[in-house]
Amino acid sequence: MPEEKDKQSSSDDGGKDDSLLSALLYPGEALAKWYLSIGSLGLFLSILNVIGMIDDVYRVSWSGLLTMEALGDALLMKDSSPSFAISDAIFMILCGGLVFLGFRWVNSKEGGASSFLRGLFINDTWSSLTNPVLGGWSKTGGAWCLLVGVLFYMYWGVRYTRWIDPGVYVVTIALLASGIALKGVSQVTPQES
C-alpha cells in the first residue's frame, strides 16, 4: 500500500511539472505578450551591444549582468573588450527563444502576426489618449503613462546613448507599470449591489 501511494504521489508531481512546462512552452495570451516584450527588448539591446551603441563607454557582458557579476564583470570598457562574445550569442538565442514562444501563440490566433502587429497600434488604448469618454479617465491616464514611458526610454537611449541606465529603467518601469495598472482599473466593472 505505501508503495502505491509513493508511486501515485510521484506521478502527481510529474503531472504538475508537465503542466508547468506545458504552460511555459505553450503560453497563453498574457505570458506570450510578456515573452514577446522581454524577448524583443533583449534582442534589441543585444544588437546595440554588438554594434557598440548600447553605451558610449561600455559594452555589456550578459553573463556578468544576468548573474550579478558572479560570472564576470557586467560592464566592460568598449576599447578593451571584443565586440562579440559568447555571452552575446547565448543571450540572443535566449531572447530569440522567448520571441519564438510568444509568436507561437500569436500565429495560433486568427489573423496571425499581421493582425497582432496591427493591434499594437490600432486599438482602444491609443484612441483614449484624447477621448476619456472611450474608457474613462483611468484608461486615458494609463494610455498617457504607457506612451510617455516608451517615449522617455527611446528618447533617453537615442539622445544619450544610455540604453542600460538603471535610473532610466526606474522611471520607465514606473510609468509602464502605472499605465498597465490604470488600464486594468478601467476594465473592471463595478458590482451591482
Mean pLDDT lowest for which of 41-45, 46-50, 116-120?
A: 116-120
Predicted pLDDT of residue 7? 44
CA distance 106 to 115: 9
For residue 12, pLDDT over 60 is answered with no
CA distance 62 to 42: 10
For the chain, the straight-line distance linking the first and the last C-alpha, in angstroms and rounded, comes to 53
Predicted pLDDT of residue 162? 87
Query: In the numeric block, which cell numbers belong to residue 51?
Result: 554594434
pLDDT, average across residues 142-158: 96
pTM of the full structure: 0.81
Decide which of 3 and 55 is more confident.
Answer: 55
